[in-house]
Structure formats: structure tokens, C-alpha cells
């Protein structure tokens, strides 16, 4: 899981391929889950 990757190059550092422009800076809790090589954008719920 990558939390808030600032750009696609950061993901490449851990062996994940994201499309150019797939990085983001907010909101907190955004994440990519990578399963079978396919990234899925999601939101991690706030712990309460």
C-alpha cells in the first residue's frame, strides 16, 4: 500500500507502476492498494 504518493516515480521505488499524474497531495488517508499488479485508489477511514 502506498499512502499519498507525490508522483508516479515514488511508486516505482517500491516496484509499483502508476500512470503519470497518479500522484496526489491530499486529502489525508488516500491510498493505492496494489493487488495482482493493478492499483486501486481508496480512502483509509479515520480511526475513531
3-state SS of 2-34 is EECCCCHHHHHCCCCCCCCCCCCCCCCCEEEEE
Residue 36: which residues within 8 A CB-CB, separation 6 or more? none
Q: What is the pTM of this model?
A: 0.64
Q: How far apart are CA 40 and CA 15, in angstroms?
A: 15
State residue 48's pLDDT score: 63
Contact in structure between 34 and 17 (CB atoms under 8 Å): no
R_g of the chain computed on alpha carbons: 11
Q: What pLDDT does 47 receive? A: 64
pLDDT under 50 in the chain at which residues?
A: none
* Confidence at residue 3, expressed as pLDDT on a 0 to 100 scale: 72
Amino acid at each position: 500500500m502506498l499512502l499519498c504518493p507525490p508522483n508516479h516515480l515514488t511508486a516505482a521505488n517500491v516496484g509499483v507502476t502508476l500512470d503519470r499524474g497518479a500522484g496526489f497531495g491530499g486529502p489525508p488517508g488516500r491510498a493505492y492498494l496494489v493487488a495482482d499488479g493493478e492499483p486501486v485508489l481508496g480512502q483509509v477511514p479515520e480511526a475513531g
